[in-house]
Amino acid sequence: MKSDYIQATVCQERRKDPIEIFHSGQLVKVCAPMVRYSKLAFRTLVRKYSCDLCYTPMIVAADFVKSIKARDSEFTTNQGDCPLIVQFAANDARILAEAAGVVYPYANGIDINCGCPQRWAIGEGYGACLINKPELVQDMVKQVRNQVDNPRFSVSIKIRIHNDLTRTVDLCRKAEAAGVSWITVHGRTVEERHQPVHYDAIKTIKESISVPVIANGDIRTLKDAENVWQVTGTDGVMVARGLLANPALFAGYEETPLKCIWDWVNIALELGTPYMCFHQHLMYMMEKITSKQEKRIFNALSSTSAVLDYLTDHYGI
């Protein structure tokens, strides 16, 4: 385990049950699990701009359990990184429970990915195929509960919807009966990519269960988030690509403010973020505030020093 993990135990000792953030009646603002992107540095950034709850990128539980190298490369945290949810891809309840036991001292809960529509994930029995296996999802929730004997440690699931919504409601009710803490619903089916999000389906699910529900899908601004929250009656909203483009979205900014770019530079350099990740995040953040010509120049930069020089010359950063 990395040294940052030792500091994380301080957060562990003083943290509250993450479910308590849903009790305020206010909109709960959540940073989605994003492969390659929602790592420690980015989580640190969005927390500065009114994000209430952050997820790690999806981690394959089997690899995490058997490989120290996988654990060190896939999961890093620190004292300020809470409340934190670790998302796992799994197809075996025992392995998932073991992975949950490993991260238990350093996180506030785990989430089971039941929504990833990518072929490789479905082919391995992960992600969205799990919405068709409610008994396995139930078993996963129960075994994590048995492994981690602390009711304050959350166990949630993130799902997509079925064409037949009664099947999704049945899945959610079974997960609730097994002890799930909350459910995040991406309002599209496995086959849908860019079609409109079915917010009516999310509302139906919310009305059908008692545990908190987080709405996910096509939220680009704080106004979008508030509208979806109101329309669906859910407890919170989860944002992915919208936060990549504007990490200050939840603080009400329409586009990434220069202060946020400055914060990203400082955080990324302090935490030793690899150059490709550092640069890629800046490319997303600056999408709306740069011309096509500026994009071509900035996107072609190949070193941290070149990026810093560019930002200083163009934006006084």
Q: Give the active site residues.
A: 116
Cβ within 8 Å of residue 84, ≥6 positions away:
43, 54, 55, 56, 77, 106, 107, 108
SS3 87: strand
Q: How far is CA 179 from CA 85, 124, 190, 315, in A?
A: 16, 25, 25, 50
Helix, strand, coil share (%) of the chain residues, nearest 5: 50, 15, 35
Count of CB atoms within 10 A of residue 50's CB? 15
Cα atoms in the 13 Å half-sphere on the side-chain side of 185: 34
Omega within 30 of 0 (cis) for the link into 83: yes
